[in-house]
Amino acid sequence: MRASPASGRPGGRIVRFAAVGGVNTLTFSACYLALHHLLPYFAAYTAAFVTSMTGSFFLHTYVTYRTRPTWTKFLLFPLTQVTNYGVQSAGLVALVGWCRLSTTVAPLVAALCALPFSYLLSRRILRPPTRAGRSTRTGSATPAGPPAQADPAPQPGPPTRTGPPPARSGKPA
């Protein structure tokens, strides 16, 4: 699969993030509805949540951020869900209690408000900033030592001249 020209830009990444979120929502709903007939509702909910979160991790890793999954990223990824839940819950309470928004519409608005927080945290976990001495995206390594000096330190002794010698007059010095 070849990347589209917009795929490397943040706007393309945000579109992919939203698309993966949509797939994640459909995955959760399908798992929950299928398991609800076999398990008690809370067990079905939990299994669907874990399944969709695992799928979301791999989709965001490969599709949204185009990076490799690691165990560290996998173990940190649930923090995005906790953040999403916290922001959505606070938003829901504020929208219904303070803004008097309908309880039917408020969850959707709260979910939209939580998207930037979820995106920024998932980007931080799945695409951590590169450190000095590590490879960059293009594969070239950054130097690990101290920066090179632009001008060497002056050496003790007589000054050295550069350029042509001074013009001599006919008089002795």
| Residues 48 and 75 grouped into a single domain | no
| Res. 49: pLDDT tops 80 | yes
| Residues 29 and 75 grouped into a single domain | no
pLDDT in tens, 12-23: 888 999 999 999
| 60, 126 Cβ separation under 8 angstroms | yes
Residue 140 lies in a domain: no
| Residues 7 and 57 grouped into a single domain | yes
Backbone Cα Rg of the chain: 29
Which of 21-30, 41-50, 154-163 shows the lowest mean pLDDT across its residues? 154-163
Residue 32 lies in a domain: yes
More confident residue, 169 or 136: 169
| Residues 84 and 123 grouped into a single domain | yes
Give the pTM: 0.64
**Nearest residue to 65 via CA among 25, 23, 13, 9:** 13
Residue 151 lies in a domain: no
Q: Rounded CA gap, 110 and 86, in Å?
A: 10
Residue 117 lies in a domain: yes
pLDDT at 104: 86
Mark which of 67, 88, 116 sits at the end of a domain: 67
Residue 61 lies in a domain: yes
Residue 148 lies in a domain: no
Residue 167 lies in a domain: no
| Residues 42 and 88 grouped into a single domain | no
More confident residue, 134 or 106: 106
| Residues 2 and 56 grouped into a single domain | yes
Q: Rounded CA gap, 126 and 138, in Å?
A: 18
Per-residue confidence at 40, pLDDT binned at 50, 70, 90?
very high
| Residues 44 and 99 grouped into a single domain | no
- Number of domains present in the structure of the chain: 2
pLDDT in tens, 68-118: 999 999 999 999 999 989 999 999 999 999 999 988 898 889 988 998 999
Mark which of 45, 67, 89 sits at the end of a domain: 67
Averaged confidence pLDDT in the chain: 80
End-to-end CA distance of the chain: 80
Q: Residue 91 corresponds to which tokens in the numbers above? A: 């938003």
Residue 95 lies in a domain: yes
| Residues 84 and 96 grouped into a single domain | yes
| Residues 15 and 33 grouped into a single domain | yes
| Residues 53 and 5 grouped into a single domain | yes
Instruction: Give the mean model confidence (pLDDT) for residues 131-153.
Output: 49
| Residues 79 and 40 grouped into a single domain | no
pLDDT at 158: 59
| Residues 7 and 43 grouped into a single domain | yes
Instruction: Give the mean model confidence (pLDDT) for residues 47-54.
Output: 93
Domain of 74 in residue numbering reads as 70-127
Percent of the chain residues past pLDDT 90, beyond the cut = 49
